[in-house]
Structure 1
């Protein structure tokens, strides 16, 4: 598997702004404005090293427009699974491995960010997992998977290629089985078996209104793809990851940085700014953790205050939360049962 680098000129320098604008206008004929970065997870300030001396990265290629352009180059390539982006020099280095590849390690870096394709690093699956390229190699019954390149003990029709991802003995879904990724097993008595990899929707549930949700769902309840939190298009917003470090604004995953009734995201549809995400709840609504509850004072921002004060600092009586008069609001007890 080869190592790729690419030099890309900024769009304006290559083709001028008018042709580019016309091209973008044509592209907008389809719903949504997805960024190629949506296919990647980012690790800020991180480099991915290969530990074998025989594999030495080449020189950095500079003059790349931005990380989106790097993603656009890496995305279609079957042997590009990640890339480094130098935030200061705008350099781009395409990589044929991820942090889960053999003989690699992550290292803190002051010069670049690491972007890895989601299909290779997510531990859950989207839809039926046809695109899953993780390293799970054991079935739901605990049986080791047979290598796809082997025909024994269980013969089969599949031939590994770069496109179908049938490498090693990793769980895959080459036939689009609705049960998700599977594999042939090393047990002659069990020809094949599902690997039981959870869908990203099922892998993490929502407690309360989901402010602590850190799952990997990147679609809204209507099926629209989420906009990345670190991008300002197609919708501008105030929730920049660097300004909300404790909100888990990773990539384009559903989150709840503003205390809404449940996790949500901005969408890639220019006509729909934001939508809620359909996520399973963790069970019956519970009260906040006891250590966070106070009645006579408050800690931090006061999320755990459960006292009986009902007058403002100016002496104005408080409106009941279950009333919409004189002021209408979204903070109803039914939607915020744990608050």
Structure 2
């Protein structure tokens, strides 16, 4: 009888979760430890961390235990931890699945022109607008105009050869944004930022959300938080938008937030980069 075991194993290994479910939204496995080896807090528990990510609020998200989940469309699956010093952390699911490290897209397709995956969230967690839709943003990048660009859904694509794959967003305030594809694929850093730039002082990426999932306040704005970390005071710090930066050389990149109750917070940059699990500086 033909032994199909090896073929089954090959099939599994050639379609890792980073390809089928890059953000881990559909993950229903039983992983309950984070990339920093922290034990997950049960979603039904409010100890040590109080939260609203409960089975009652997210009935279809698989929150019946302490398993890693992505109920709110973050970068990938995550959990609150039982460590009072670490509120939450990502898990090795989706993008961070160890099987997804073989040949990252930044090597094969840095601009994401050939990307035909089903990622439909931008690098700042905005949902992509369908390419067939003109709401909320009118545009000319339609399937009729780009018939070979894979524009049949709301997946990240690069029909017009931008820096990498992108999409219009469903947020009326954000017309379009890049996705974590091609050179922005999180696996595309042979030497992660925690090693090269642990404090994120040199970070000039486009991340504008904090580790607590707050939106960053623009550095040019004084609302809701007044501050002196302005482009005028720090002209070489890249403060021209609301991206995570480290103008004053603190632990790592951070930003003021648009939440009046959270003045500022760190971002997943430098030693807080999710890929820095193995060699935190």
Tell me the TM-score normalised to structure 1 length.
0.31
Instruction: Report which of the two has the higher share of strand.
Output: 1
* The structure with more radius of gyration: 1
Tell me the TM-score normalised to structure 2 length.
0.36
